[in-house]
Structure 1
Amino acid sequence: MTTSSSLAAEPTALLVAGRSRWLGPAVRLGAGVGLLLVSCAVAVCIGAADLSVEQVARSVAAHLGLGTSPLAPLADSVVWQLRLPRVLLAAAVGAALALCGCVLQALTRNVLADPYLLGISSGASAGAVAVLLLGLGAATVGLAGGAFLGGLLAFALVVLLVGSGVGTSITRVVLTGVAVGQLFAAVSALLLMASGDAQTVRGVTYWLLGSLSGARWSSVALVVALVVVGGLVLWSRSAALDAFTFGADAAASLGVDVARTRWLLFVTTALVTAGAVAVSGAIAFVGLVLPHAMRRLVGTAHARLLPTSAVAGAVFLVWADALARSAFAPQEVPVGVVTALVGAPALLLVLRSVAR
């Protein structure tokens, strides 16, 4: 026989269970944001000039109109014009790549999917090579603009070849993206072979490996805007992404407009990825490994997984870039080399867990 006290206890028990279900991921996300802020503050201090966190904080505050900077003009310029934009760009690019990788892994149901799945990285590389070696648009759009347009051109070619009909299969989209990526990679290789300037080729190769050395406030603003707007669009489709993990048929049975939602997600990830690659080159493994790690931490629900992956990607790339510019100082290593050295063993662990 059910008593009135037990009936009264049931809503309380459900409320406590609901709170505990969300409290753990929320605490982890809050801890991640705190770790990101600390990581950015410490990373700005890393470099040839020995600066403390307090000095950096007061310098940044001075540029925001709060007090005066305690640093000499040269050191103050290093903080505001070089280190801070680079650290913030690393955080923004890391968040962008982790977000896009997380979405594409759910959308394609492929554990090896990454942000460069649709040929965007190769298209951006070809655009950058065309600007540097041929001078196309060098005076108007510049290197980042050329890379961004190249990435969008590659994605547009994928859409043109695949079509956007309801019956379009994910396998066809992925294979077309791979083919388009190989096409643009071949174009980049031909342009590099045709160039007789060894110094220019070396600079292009360095950029292709991934580098944040050209960070500017304008590029920070671009990627942050793409991450915020694109991230909100992707997060608003969290329920649809949960459904897509069970297949298109399951998503349709749950009321998801499969074709429209799929292409909205593809277009959004393409724009965010193109913007990230345009300012940093192709940085590998961030969008591939970080989402898998966060699934083990917060579960598979994308309402929690997307923001957590973004924060984790930001923290990871901030520290990877700090290592890239300090490990062999004064020589700087492309950040893509560091992420590959860390990401390749992590990928092997992912493959091992999937094979079990």
Structure 2
Amino acid sequence: MKGAVTHSGNGWPIVLPGLLGLPLMMVLAAANGDMPVPFAHAAMALANGLGLADYRLPPVEEGIVWQYRMSRALMAACSGGGLALCGLVLQALLRNALAEPYLLGISAGASTGAVLVMLVGIGGGLLSVSAGAFIGACGAFALIMLLARGMRDGAARIILAGIAGTQLFNALTACVVSISANAEQSRSVMFWLLGSLSGVRWPDALLALAVTLSGLLIALSFARSLDTLTFGEDISATLGTRVQFVRIGLLLLTALQTAVIVSIIGAVGFVGLVIPHVTRMFSGPSHLVSIPVCFIIGAHFMMLADLLSRTLITHQVIPIGVVTALVGAPVFCLILYRSRGKK
């Protein structure tokens, strides 16, 4: 894959510790916030919520941990893993080291849909903000595929169509906000556009869990095809890969996953761009290894970013997209610096 940073490492030793570390990271995230909760109490609340135990805890602590923070931590894990996985798949599929989920204009379309519901009242009160964002994301993906003439002109045209669609929907969003929003509404919209986990509850988190785990399994089933695509479409086809089928299927998969995540938490950048490059430092080029490793690293990264967004400034929450950008941009620059001169 042109421009990718690859190494010959074996990422399997990361998978088991990473999986075992996910519940610990969730408990750590649930224990910290404006009202700190002892780590042991947070672990007990998790066990109670899962029906594994019946510990006696203060109702306030248990409610904060299980109803608010634990669902938020699960959503952070799912969104981080899902966006990272989408970035890894797109970079292999389009053979472009800069490809990432928002390349297809899905995030921009979701933002436009959400803003139309929030400010213009599209749907007559029957649509939630998340539903409007999901419809906007799907509409944006359909437009991008139309601009790209389906899949006939290959990856380069899809990338160009994604850039054009992203600019179009970003302009529409800015236009709606400028015309329809007052100062308070503009602030709320901007906070959502920068990414927010504040309104996440269990139905949202469970939906994201189902979508991202399904996407993980589907991506694993295409691991060999992704390996062959890194050598080019012609070679991949001679090795027995149905290139058009794989491309359409995986583009739809990344579109659906990104649409669901963005419709719930808003736009969060750099996860799908940076995490795949970090993953290849540990896992090497094999997608059978890099797919689970990428998902796990993305999940941990997003939970840590959410924890930082809630604790860096007392009694104030920083948009999670700001945190991921502040961390992701320097890391990506470091990766580019280290890979200088490499093919």
Tell me the TM-score normalised to structure 1 length: 0.90
Following superposition, the deviation at residue 137 of structure 1 comes to 2.7
Aligned residue in 2 for 1:349: 334
Aligned residue in 2 for 1:321: 306
Kindly indicate whether residue 163 of structure 2 is the aligned counterpart of residue 178 of structure 1: yes
Aligned residue in 2 for 1:243: 228
Per-residue Cα deviation, 1:43-85 (whole angstroms, up to 9, x for no partner): 1101122312221222233233444343322222111111001
Aligned residue in 1 for 2:203: 218
Mark the CA change 1:301 to 1:67 in structure 2 (over 3 Å): closer, same or farther: closer
Q: Distance in 1 between matches of 2:165 and 2:244?
A: 21
Mark the CA change 1:297 to 1:150 in structure 2 (over 3 Å): closer, same or farther: same
Residue among 113, 120, 134 paired with 2:106: 120
CA contact (8 A) 1:59 1:70 kept: no
Per-residue Cα deviation, 1:255-279 (whole angstroms, up to 9, x for no partner): 1111111011100000001111111
Q: Distance in 1 between matches of 2:48 and 2:219?
A: 36
Per-residue Cα deviation, 1:182-209 (whole angstroms, up to 9, x for no partner): 1111110000100241111100100111
Kindly indicate whether residue 83 of structure 2 is the aligned counterpart of residue 101 of structure 1: no
CA contact (8 A) 2:109 2:169 kept: yes
SS where residue 333 of structure 1 aligns?
A: coil
SS where residue 150 of structure 2 aligns?
A: coil
Residues 18-167 of structure 1 aligned to structure 2 (within 5 Å): 24-137=10-123, 139-165=125-151, 167=152
Percent identical across equivalent pairs?
Answer: 42
Per-residue Cα deviation, 1:88-141 (whole angstroms, up to 9, x for no partner): 100000000000000001111111111111000100000111111011136323
Mark the CA change 1:307 to 1:85 in structure 2 (over 3 Å): closer, same or farther: same
Q: Distance in 1 between matches of 2:270 and 2:150?
A: 29
Q: Select between 224-233 and 48-57 the one with higher mean Cα deviation.
A: 48-57
Q: Distance in 1 between matches of 2:210 and 2:284?
A: 27
Task: Flag the structure with more relative contact order, 1 or 2, with Cα contacts below 8 A and sequence separation at least 6.
Answer: 2
Residue among 137, 150, 153 paired with 1:168: 153
Following superposition, the deviation at residue 229 of structure 1 comes to 1.1
Q: Distance in 2 between matches of 1:92 and 1:140?
A: 27
Residue among 285, 289, 295 paired with 1:310: 295
Mark the CA change 1:262 to 1:199 in structure 2 (over 3 Å): closer, same or farther: same
Q: Distance in 1 between matches of 2:231 and 2:197?
A: 37
Residue among 267, 276, 280 paired with 2:261: 276
Tell me the TM-score normalised to structure 2 length: 0.93
CA contact (8 A) 1:164 1:259 kept: no
Count of residue correspondences: 334
Per-residue Cα deviation, 1:154-178 (whole angstroms, up to 9, x for no partner): 001112222335x321100110111
Gap regions ≥5 residues in structure 1: 1-20
CA contact (8 A) 2:27 2:46 kept: no
AA aligned to 2:234 is D
Per-residue Cα deviation, 1:244-263 (whole angstroms, up to 9, x for no partner): 11111121121111111101
Gap regions ≥5 residues in structure 2: 1-7
CA contact (8 A) 1:55 1:70 kept: no
Larger radius of gyration: 1
Q: What is the RMSD of the two structures over their aligned residues, measured on CA atoms? A: 1.6
CA contact (8 A) 2:103 2:159 kept: yes
Aligned residue in 1 for 2:5: none
